[in-house]
Amino acid sequence: MVAIESLPEMTEAEVAAHAEKDSLWCIIDGVVYDLTKFADEHPGGDQVLVEQAGRDATEPFNDVGHSADAKEMAKEYAIGRLKATPGAAKAPAAQSKPAAAGGCGASFKDIMTSPTWTNFLIPTAVGILVFVLYKGVQRLL
């Protein structure tokens, strides 16, 4: 595995040119990853990665709460470092803040299809509802 510091620098424009499933690059914490080969193996499905392709996916990656193993495994897909450009370093953070504000600025669709809702909260709520209904029917019998 190559040290991150020794990887070549890349611009956001270079990363943006790889925003499709057959050429899927993402930026996470200033490191550029080529996730093309990993997309079919991603536990959350390839669509999650395709939605973030060609851009900074730091916030969505961290919001999901990936394990230390997942973060370590990601290193093998690192292909570059994001080139720091004056003025541009603050723009992505400013654009991503509204979506992180717990719904302030995030659309209803974004909230309902976020990995937190679809992979944890909704199935948990459905499970609780089924349990309560089951117990209610048992008491009637």
Residue type, 38: F
| 31 plus 87 within the same structural domain | yes
| 58 plus 71 within the same structural domain | yes
| 100 plus 116 within the same structural domain | no
Can you give the pLDDT at residue 86? Answer: 66
Do 39 and 80 contact (CB within 8 A), yes or no? no
Give the domain range for residue 96.
Answer: 4-106
Question: pLDDT digit string (tens) for 73-114?
Answer: 888 999 999 988 765 544 444 344 344 434 345 666 766 666
Sheet holding 23-28, edge to edge: 9-10, 78-82, 31-34, 23-28, 19-20
Which whole number is the average pLDDT over 65-71?
Answer: 82
Distance from C-alpha of 14 to C-alpha of 23, rounded to nearest angstrom: 12
Which whole number is the average pLDDT over 107-129?
Answer: 75
| 30 plus 90 within the same structural domain | yes
| 59 plus 127 within the same structural domain | no
Q: What is the DSSP letter of 35?
A: -
Q: What is the DSSP letter of 83?
A: P
| 64 plus 43 within the same structural domain | yes
